[in-house]
């Protein structure tokens, strides 16, 4: 755990994709204490008509075609403070490493139970004891 899905414009260079991937992974390790080597990510590039967002903005945030959607599925139990710190670390890190506007870093967290994971072989790796 976790599983990270990153969706961004098809024009994103391999270097930008790698930087975003690394920033998210580093924030998971440093901020929310995910185990090292627990890096499972699905990165998808999209045509301009496949990334939909409100052109007029939402909640005071405006977006550009450079928007990056990041969805992280992880175990339930992290504090609000940890989540806030994670959001900030990801947005700040992506901006610093790629120049992507912080406003264009859109993040969603999905929380699941520990037993909701199988890492292969059809095993429930976090089975209740």
What is 53-78 written as a DSSP string? --TT-BTTB---TT-EEEEEEEES--
Domain-located, residue 55: yes
State the average pLDDT over residues 71-96. Answer: 96
Is 2 among the residues known to form the active site? yes
Per-residue confidence (pLDDT) for residue 47, from 0 to 100: 97
Where do we find the tokens 């992280």?
Answer: 72
Strand-pair category, 105-112 with 40-46 = unpaired
Is residue 124 domain-resident?
no
Domain CATH code at residue 48: 3.30.429.10
- The reported pLDDT for the residue numbered 15 is 98
In a domain, 125, yes or no: no
- Residue 54 in domain: yes
Domain-embedded: residue 100: yes
**123 pLDDT band (50/70/90 cuts)?**
confident
pLDDT of residue 122 exceeding 90, the answer is no
Place of tokens 């928007």: 67
C-alpha 4/C-alpha 112 separation (Å) is 13
> Parallel, antiparallel, or unpaired for β 3-9 and 40-46?
parallel
Q: pTM score > 0.85 for this model?
A: yes
Element (H, E) at 87: helix 80-98
Q: Is residue 46 part of a domain?
A: yes
Is there a domain that residue 129 lies in? no
pLDDT at 129 over 80: no
pLDDT band at 119, cuts 50/70/90? confident
- Residue 90 covered by a domain: yes
Catalytic residue among 2, 35, 48, 65: 2
Give 128's pLDDT tier (boundaries 50, 70, 90). confident
Q: What gap in Å lies between CA 92 and CA 9, rounded to an integer?
A: 19
Residue 117 has pLDDT above 90, yes or no: no
Per-residue pLDDT of 17-72, as tens digits, reads 999 999 999 999 999 999 899 999 999 999 999 999 999 999 999 999 999 999 99
Rg of the chain in Å (alpha carbons):
15
Looking at the structure of the chain, the number of domains it has is 1
Q: Could you list the residue range(s) of the whole structural domain that residue 76 is in? A: 3-116
More confident residue, 126 or 5: 5
Q: Which helix (H) or strand (E) holds 30?
A: helix 14-30
């Amino acid at each position: 755990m976790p599983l990270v899905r990153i969706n961004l414009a098809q024009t994103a260079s391999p270097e930008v994709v790698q930087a975003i991937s690394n920033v998210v992974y580093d924030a998971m390790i440093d901020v929310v204490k995910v185990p090292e080597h627990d890096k499972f990510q699905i990165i998808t590039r999209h045509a301009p008509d496949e990334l939909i967002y409100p052109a007029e903005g939402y909640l005071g945030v405006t977006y550009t075609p450079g928007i990056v959607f990041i969805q992280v599925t992880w175990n339930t139990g992290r504090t609000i403070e940890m989540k806030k710190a994670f959001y900030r670390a990801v947005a700040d890190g992506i901006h610093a490493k790629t120049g992507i506007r912080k406003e264009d870093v859109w993040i969603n967290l999905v929380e699941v139970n520990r037993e909701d994971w199988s890492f292969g072989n059809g095993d429930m790796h976090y089975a209740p004891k």
